[in-house]
Structure 1
Amino acid sequence: MTQKSVGSASVGEGELLWIPSKAFKDAAQITRYLDWLDREKGLTFADYDSLWQWSVAELDAFWRTIWEFFNIVSDGEIDKVRTGSTLEATRWFDGTRVNYAEHLLRHEGQAAPGETALVHSTELRPLATMSWEELGGKVRILATRLRELGVVPGDRLVSYMPNIPETAIAMLATVAIGAVWSAAAPEFGAKTVVERFAQIAPKFAFVADGYSFNGRSFDRRSEVATIAAHLPSLEKLIWLPYLGLDREIEADVPIINLQDLLASPAVARSDFEYTRVAPEHPLWVLFSSGTTGVPKAIAHGHQGILAEHLKVMSLHCNLSPGKRMFFYTTTGWMMWNSVMAALVTGASAVLYDGSPVHGGVDMLWRMAAETGTTSFGASPTLVQNMKKAGVRPGELYDLSALESVIVGGAPSTPETFQWFFETIRDDLWVTSQSGGTEVCSGFVTALPSLPVYAGEIQCRGLGIDAHVWSEDGDEIVDEVGELVITSPMPSAPLFFWGDADGSRYHESYFTTFPGVWRHGDLAKINARGGVYIYGRSDSTLNRFGVRIGTAEIYRVVEQIPGILDSLVVCCETPDGGFYMPMFVSLEAGRVLDDGLKATIAGHLRDDASPRHVPDEVHHMPAIPYTLTGKKMEVPIRKLLMGMPAEKVVSRDAMANPALLDWMLEFAQRPEVVARRSAAA
């Protein structure tokens, strides 16, 4: 690989930083696919853009090649690649029955004895590995026991556990028998978890007694008891004593020890049968951030997610046997599912649970060196914290195994890209990617055979008909507009759970541009196909790379005595960080003193999670609403980011126009200007 030196000066957006060497391109998985297309299908392409154009113009042909190239194992053959007349009504791979977990564990039959599937550590557990044979064996044991306990295809099984191998085993075992998986991170408060899980009526729940973060252990037995008490469908709790605490909780359902289940007799591969399911059968339920109310329960299917993950993890992320993928995430975020998806390529998944700065701000790089990580992922915010601390990973650790970096979860700056080249080495493949929980993948992504430009996402994903449109619905190039998807993709939701008529799904993405998916990202696609994401065009908050819905915060804060109303926004700053202020209106006679601020922070931390705590809390005379009764989150966010008022909001659209003057004054306060003007 080669790389254009950028020196120590600040790099500009779009500046060329890296060019892949011929050897790197020749060894890439995308090159294998192109050679196969030429050999088997008689298809040749001059460059990536022509390949992408074909993939979206000939969707059926493209996705059939993915099915064939990766040799997806199925009962039945594809009758039709697609059925349905609209993007939201399309169904994929009619006539097939597959199992996602079967493909994640397929490499077990090909791996050498002792070859690693999982590399894992936590603040409480030392670094260790798990072989493909051990992982597959434990999954078969647990899946068999779950069947014996009465779990049948379609049952929902949920998790309230840390990012540890037991959670991975539970997910794979659940999916292996056709049950439906869903997860929440253990730092989520009970109310936040119940709002999610109650929608899908789970039969069993995998729960841990607690978790550790930044050197502190957090007992979650009370939260587990509350969650269980508010899930009437629950029949059993499967308990993991992660902190070593006993099961002294009140529950109306039996409690079974997960370790006891895993200690059951082994089940040979030849004696285990995966439950292969039809395209309409749910794989898992992921939850949206909850911006507009109760989080959306997004159901995906086995076939669609499998085809998409094979494509993106292999062709775009360039994973294959012998490689190791890490991304700093929790079990409640789609990136956990993406890390687990590395297994579908035969690569290893690297798991870590705990604070990313436990033992030092360079902790993740120490772990990357110790684990032999080849693909390292983190949010831009974490990277900025390392940069500000003066960390130079390449001088501290042996990162010779590291091949690529994925910066995701939030927009990346050119300076973020530059930092990797300057502080690790100049032959890294540094990438940024962007997608969504709704598709559990990336719309715009990386490619090992393309150059890297500062701050630029390399390309639109194969088979992803992504464009940027103006407010009038016209395609624009080299201009900022709305990111839209104009053709179906396999990993789009099957449905939202409980959304019987599909109205919530439709209203979430298809009302701005009828028949077209509007994702809610501000984006730019340039003439060479590179992509820039500039943040959310809606009101979703982004906290340390994890998206948070404003409604989750409001439901907590507005229960606090003395608080009448609240509004919270999150602004991206030029250094890749975030500024998240909250505004509250108070009952007459109440004062926003340090005590009330501490109460707000405490409730958010306990009832939601530490990520929900704002940077600042300010008293506002009243919360601004539109005439139609909607909180003015997006206009306030844009004002705080320095956009002119006349381009953001009309006084005539406000229920209380006088509040705009208060907000304009606040936006010009020196400390607010300094926050939005922070330099990297």
Structure 2
Amino acid sequence: MAAPLWQPGEAQQNSRLARFWEQARHHSGQPLDDYNALHAWSVEQPEAFWQQVWDFCGLVGEPGNTVLTRRDRFQDTRWFPQATLNYAENLLHRNDTHPALISVLEDGTRTEVSYAGLRVAAGKVAAQLQAAGVKPGDRVAGFMPNRIETVIAALGAAWIGAVWSSCSPDFGVSGVLDRFGQIEPTVLLACDGYHYNGKWIDLGERIDALHDALKPALMVVVPGKGNSTPVRRALIWQTWLDSAGPAPDFAALPFNHPLFILYSSGTTGQPKCIVHGAGGTLLQQTKELQLHADVGADDTLFYFTTCGWMMWNWLLCGLHTGATLVLYDGNPAYPNTARLFDLVDDEAITHFGTSAKFIQAVEKSGLKPRESHDLATLRTLFSTGSPLLHESYDYLYEQVKANLLVSSISGGTDIISCFALGNPLLPVYRGELQCPGLGMDVAVFDDDGEPLADSKGELVCRQPFPCCPIQFWNDPDGSRFHKAYFARFDGVWAHGDYAQLVPHEQHCGLIIHGRSDAVLNPGGVRIGTAEIYRQVETLDAIREAIVVGQEWQGDVRVVLFVVLADGVDLSEALQTRIRKAIREGATPRHVPAVIAEVPEIPRTVSGKIVELAVREVIHGRPVTNRNALANPQALEHFSDRPELAN
């Protein structure tokens, strides 16, 4: 076993998780000597565990006398059936002059609002929504960049029990309508433009088109720049707020009252509208932030995200900890890859979140933040979106900060949280997520539904958890919901990740090898795509890559598409280097039969590469929802390739 890259020190022994752990020992009457024991208690005694989370993390509301019912059937389990709470009240329980939000836009504009100021502004939104006739359960949709007004609007909606849903403004009109068109929002909030890559993107025409198609009862526009195209039939944000009456009381709502609607990527069909409840979202996310991430009231939390990615909702819950949240909107690598590290120093960020792809881009740019930046306040770095390469761990510890807790996390839109994530009391091993989340009965199954101890298989969760979606929108009999998660293994959540548990003496790590529906199967041997990316993307000649399986002569062969660095040609010598790196770093079965060059790789708006869409294109099959892609034109590079002809 390789030595850990990071070990907890004395400072971590007083972490929130350490205090929670001590309480669990006392309440359970068990020694709970290691994390395996604590985790086992959390899934075997869910009533005791989740009640302790409610109390320890300080949820505001009435929990009732019952923690869960109908535990025998996963999707029918009901958590805290007697509870009442309000999500906005929980996030706004701190009511003082401490900074709640700091917004930094790409052009350098900086705005700050205190907890007291945020509460006043959200109360004005709540008052105006209520005055406009918005009722609990009505949808309020945001076509917004990641800025303070978006947070204010989401909290104002939650204040009165309306359901918030947002799309990133880099979606085209069709992509937005694929999402908002299904949920029929009563209110549409939009910004008339945003900065990206040094340019102003005018949204005026798009907003008018959305109004014509959606016909919301109320539309409010946040001006972003004076010369944007005027938006018709809209109220102006600040004028709308200034005319608000007194804030209403926070609506006391059931635990499972709908809070957010999020969307699947939808690259092979219309996006699924995933409805998340207020109580489950709050309970799970604050558990992750306070216990696993050790975020507290004196910390500053940042995650680079758009409002169309579930990490925005996760970041938002950081307000429940009393921390300061930093919002950034724009290109994270503009004018160069040092931009977000500048932000760490400028805003004294303690917890910094980004994607694995961004970390790779920073490494390939040659930046060495430990030499160019101070980073004195930075304690934890989160990474998600795709598996963090083993070599990226090395880079972070060697070139960013040696005493940094690198917390690779994995979950998704489906659960608005994580199945596996970091832990301030466990070591960090190269290439591994530190542990399964407390209360999440994570396992890896083979095709027959049998658990695997240290082999690759399907990531599952065997027991119910509070952040399970409450439903899909427009799925009255629950059949689509059941098919998505429970059809493969009866009564067990199958997540769609190809994973591997890694046993250690006192805990169990986890490796994600890619999406299970993108797993390659040459010669009947299952291969995770992450195992190939790990080898290829360490080569300086390769900027990025995407790998798929092609049906070929009754079998499947591995096809690798690469985007080359500037000035590099896909020569025979380079192809030999690529194949050698894969053969030596993985196995001969991983070596691609075909290597081909493309100028760009298709991605979702949240930055994830779309292996399934590319697989459909190379087989001449339609991709039914290109609107889900940030760059749908990239798919054209994969059709009619002579290298792939049978």
Q: Same fold (TM over 0.5)?
A: yes
Q: Is the deviation greater in 334-343 or in 127-136?
A: 127-136
Answer yes or no: is the 8 Å Cα contact 2:462–2:492 preserved in 1.
yes
Distance change >3 Å, CA 118–CA 266, structure 1 → 2: farther
Distance change >3 Å, CA 285–CA 571, structure 1 → 2: farther
- Count matched residues: 566
User: Does the alignment pair 1:399 with 2:395?
Assistant: no
User: Does the alignment pair 1:439 with 2:415?
Assistant: yes
Distance in 2 (CA, whole Å) between partners of 1:38 and 1:614 is 45
1:357-403 residue CA offsets vs partner (Å, 9 max, x unmatched): 11211111011111111011111111111111111112111210000
Answer yes or no: is the 8 Å Cα contact 2:513–2:531 preserved in 1.
no
Of residues 229, 236, 239, the one that matches 2:212 is 229
Distance in 2 (CA, whole Å) between partners of 1:85 and 1:55 is 17
User: Does the alignment pair 1:118 with 2:94?
Assistant: no
Question: Aligned runs of 1:517-536 on 2, under 5 Å?
Answer: 517-528=493-504, 529-536=508-515
Distance in 1 (CA, whole Å) between partners of 2:400 and 2:438 is 30
Of residues 16, 19, 26, the one that matches 1:32 is 19
Q: Structure 2 length normalisation: TM-score?
A: 0.81
1:347 corresponds to: 323
SS of the equivalent of 2:5 reads strand
Distance in 2 (CA, whole Å) between partners of 1:361 and 1:220 is 27
User: Does the alignment pair 1:210 with 2:193?
Assistant: yes
Q: CA deviation at 1:344?
A: 1.0
1:579 corresponds to: 545
Of residues 238, 260, 263, the one that matches 1:287 is 263
Amino acid in the other structure paired with 1:262 = L
User: Does the alignment pair 1:379 with 2:337?
Assistant: no
Answer yes or no: is the 8 Å Cα contact 2:140–2:186 preserved in 1.
yes
Question: Aligned runs of 1:425-464 on 2, under 5 Å?
Answer: 425-464=401-440
Amino acid in the other structure paired with 1:261 = W
SS of the equivalent of 1:230 reads helix
Distance in 2 (CA, whole Å) between partners of 1:502 and 1:618 is 30
Question: Aligned runs of 1:541-560 on 2, under 5 Å?
Answer: none
Identical counterparts, % of pairs: 34
Of residues 121, 131, 147, the one that matches 1:148 is 131
SS of the equivalent of 1:199 reads helix
Distance in 1 (CA, whole Å) between partners of 2:301 and 2:270 is 33
Amino acid in the other structure paired with 1:16 = P
Of residues 209, 219, 242, the one that matches 1:263 is 242
Answer yes or no: is the 8 Å Cα contact 1:573–1:579 preserved in 2.
no
Amino acid in the other structure paired with 1:98 = L
Distance in 2 (CA, whole Å) between partners of 1:316 and 1:133 is 27
Amino acid in the other structure paired with 1:171 = A
Distance in 1 (CA, whole Å) between partners of 2:616 and 2:503 is 45
Answer yes or no: is the 8 Å Cα contact 2:355–2:385 preserved in 1.
yes
Distance change >3 Å, CA 41–CA 182, structure 1 → 2: same
Of residues 582, 606, 623, the one that matches 2:619 is 623
Distance in 2 (CA, whole Å) between partners of 1:62 and 1:583 is 43
Distance change >3 Å, CA 570–CA 667, structure 1 → 2: farther
Q: Structure 1 length normalisation: TM-score?
A: 0.78
Answer yes or no: is the 8 Å Cα contact 2:422–2:435 preserved in 1.
yes
1:563 corresponds to: none
User: Does the alignment pair 1:83 with 2:70?
Assistant: yes
Of residues 363, 367, 371, the one that matches 2:343 is 367
SS of the equivalent of 2:500 reads strand
Distance in 1 (CA, whole Å) between partners of 2:259 and 2:376 is 37
SS of the equivalent of 1:107 reads coil
Of residues 214, 225, 233, the one that matches 1:243 is 225
Q: CA deviation at 1:40?
A: 5.1
Q: CA deviation at 1:71?
A: 3.3
Of residues 106, 122, 138, the one that matches 2:121 is 138
Q: CA deviation at 1:28?
A: 0.7
Of residues 110, 119, 133, the one that matches 1:127 is 110
Q: CA deviation at 1:330?
A: 0.4
Distance in 1 (CA, whole Å) between partners of 2:623 and 2:181 is 26
1:89-115 residue CA offsets vs partner (Å, 9 max, x unmatched): 21211111111111111122xx4xx31
Distance in 1 (CA, whole Å) between partners of 2:610 and 2:187 is 34
SS of the equivalent of 1:88 reads helix
SS of the equivalent of 2:411 reads strand
Amino acid in the other structure paired with 1:79 = T
Could you tell me which runs of 5 or more consecutive residues in structure 1 were left unpaired when the two chains were aligned: 1-12, 541-568, 585-599, 632-661, 669-680
2:490 corresponds to: 514
Distance change >3 Å, CA 202–CA 373, structure 1 → 2: same
1:198 corresponds to: 181
Q: CA deviation at 1:20?
A: 0.8
1:243-266 residue CA offsets vs partner (Å, 9 max, x unmatched): 22456345xxx4111111233468
Amino acid in the other structure paired with 2:619 = I
Amino acid in the other structure paired with 1:225 = D
User: Does the alignment pair 1:163 with 2:159?
Assistant: no
Distance in 1 (CA, whole Å) between partners of 2:387 and 2:14 is 29
Of residues 537, 548, 563, the one that matches 2:516 is 537
Of residues 67, 70, 73, the one that matches 2:60 is 73
Answer yes or no: is the 8 Å Cα contact 2:446–2:452 preserved in 1.
yes
Q: How large is the Cα RMSD of the aligned pairs? A: 3.3
Answer yes or no: is the 8 Å Cα contact 2:193–2:228 preserved in 1.
no
Question: Aligned runs of 1:22-61 on 2, under 5 Å?
Answer: 23-39=10-26, 42-61=29-48
Distance change >3 Å, CA 360–CA 152, structure 1 → 2: same
Distance in 1 (CA, whole Å) between partners of 2:84 and 2:532 is 44
Q: CA deviation at 1:231?
A: 1.3
Distance change >3 Å, CA 323–CA 620, structure 1 → 2: closer
Distance in 2 (CA, whole Å) between partners of 1:618 and 1:201 is 31
Distance in 1 (CA, whole Å) between partners of 2:85 and 2:282 is 9
Distance in 2 (CA, whole Å) between partners of 1:432 and 1:88 is 28
Q: CA deviation at 1:126?
A: 2.3
Answer yes or no: is the 8 Å Cα contact 1:209–1:245 preserved in 2.
no
User: Does the alignment pair 1:17 with 2:9?
Assistant: no
